[in-house]
Amino acid sequence: MMKMVIDPGHGGEDPGVVAGQLREKDLTLQLALRMRGYLTSRYRVHVYMTRTTDRTLRLRERVSLINHHYADFFCSLHINSGKGHGLESYVSKSSSLDQSIEVQHRIHTKVISLLAPYKIMDRGMKQADMYLLHYAMVPGIHFECLFIDTVDEQRYLQNHSFMTKLGNAMGEGIAKALQFIPRRAGIVYRIIAGSFNQREQAVALQKYLRLGGIDSMIMNVGASHQCYQVQAGAFQVRSNAEARLQDIKDMGFLDAYIG
Ligand SMILES: [Zn+2]
């Protein structure tokens, strides 16, 4: 099963950005809890949180939590400030995690499309070596959601139904991009293109598959968590899985199998 970590920004002694009664640390926790509820009720995924209460947590501790859980992915949630408008996302600049950009594109466009009724401004997909993005051993995405000091966005941030929609939209974007398997799905045929002891080898295979137009995800599996599986699709119809398997074998990856 996929594992992800949701990281509500700030907390405890660190309120993040503040405007009147609104504090970033409370808003990020609200979003994180909604996102967790959405994902765990709909998808077969283990969701860990760096915090579930208003507690102080250093960046270093957040990174070690992400690494400790051998997560496949993490999502950091923040609220912007500076009187602007809209939502932006960040992934690492690091080239070793360049599949992050592909994943970011899939997540970001999904989130923006799900929020279309609210006419949230799309501030774009960006890259920056923020602490977590840089030091976590797995790919992740960092969201800056709306502006705490912009009056019309404050209304959204205080609106429970909007916050639910936003948390759900980010969850759905991640679920689709990372090929989470829906809970209601019966038998699911997963295509395993390869399994490796080194993450770099899994990343290399992922790049080859990408050249052939096949999206894949790297998952940590096995009791010791030192096995990196490249999952190139999950299907509910066996014939679709077999067609994908054949495509991958035709590319020369004869060890691929349906798991
Ligand atoms: Zn922040």
* pLDDT tens over the chain, length 259 residues: 889 999 999 999 999 999 999 999 999 999 999 999 999 999 999 999 999 999 999 999 999 999 888 888 999 999 999 999 999 999 988 755 556 788 899 999 999 999 999 999 999 999 998 999 989 888 899 999 999 999 999 999 999 999 999 999 999 999 999 989 888 877 788 999 998 888 889 989 998 898 888 988 888 776 566 788 899 998 888 899 999 999 999 998 888 999 8
Instruction: Tell me how far the alpha carbon of residue 63 is from its chain's centroid.
Output: 15
* Residues 166 and 125 placed together within one structural domain of the fold: yes
* Residues 144 and 30 placed together within one structural domain of the fold: yes
* Residues 8 and 54 placed together within one structural domain of the fold: yes
- The CA 106 to ligand 1 mean position distance, Å, reads 23
The pLDDT value given to residue 78:
98
* Residues 171 and 197 placed together within one structural domain of the fold: no
* Residues 162 and 59 placed together within one structural domain of the fold: yes
User: Is 0.85 surpassed by the pTM of this model?
Assistant: no
* Residues 86 and 153 placed together within one structural domain of the fold: yes
Its domain, for residue 159, covers: 2-177
- The CA 82 to ligand 1 mean position distance, Å, reads 12
The pLDDT value given to residue 31:
97
DSSP 8-state assignment for residue 95: G
The pLDDT value given to residue 118:
94
* Residues 34 and 107 placed together within one structural domain of the fold: yes
**Domain termination residue (choose one: 118, 142, 177):** 177
Instruction: Tell me how far the alpha carbon of residue 106 is from its chain's centroid.
Output: 10
- The CA 51 to ligand 1 mean position distance, Å, reads 14
* Residues 88 and 29 placed together within one structural domain of the fold: yes
- The CA 28 to ligand 1 mean position distance, Å, reads 8
CATH number at 96 reads 3.40.630.40
- The CA 81 to ligand 1 mean position distance, Å, reads 9
Q: How far is CA 112 from CA 7, 107, 217, in A?
A: 20, 9, 22
Residues in contact with 145: Cβ distance below 8 Å, sequence separation at least 6, in sequence order: 27, 31, 77, 78, 79, 80, 87, 166
- The CA 215 to ligand 1 mean position distance, Å, reads 31
Token pair 């080194």: residue: 198
The pLDDT value given to residue 245:
94
- The CA 102 to ligand 1 mean position distance, Å, reads 24
Query: Among the options 24, 88, 144, 153, which is catalytic?
Result: 144
**Domain termination residue (choose one: 177, 196, 227):** 177
* Residues 106 and 45 placed together within one structural domain of the fold: yes
Residues in contact with 219: Cβ distance below 8 Å, sequence separation at least 6, in sequence order: 2, 72, 228, 229, 230, 231
* Residues 210 and 163 placed together within one structural domain of the fold: no
Coil vs helix vs strand at 175:
helix
The pLDDT value given to residue 97:
55
**Domain termination residue (choose one: 147, 177, 207):** 177
242 is an active site residue: no
* Residues 119 and 53 placed together within one structural domain of the fold: yes
- The CA 131 to ligand 1 mean position distance, Å, reads 12
Residues bordering ligand 1, an ion, CB closer than 5 Å: 9, 16, 78
The pLDDT value given to residue 197:
87
CATH number at 201 reads 3.30.70.1070
- What is the C-alpha to C-alpha distance for residues 199 and 218, in angstroms, rounded to an integer? 8
Q: How many structural domains comprise the chain?
A: 2
Residue positions counted in the chain: 259
* Residues 55 and 125 placed together within one structural domain of the fold: yes
The pLDDT value given to residue 100:
77
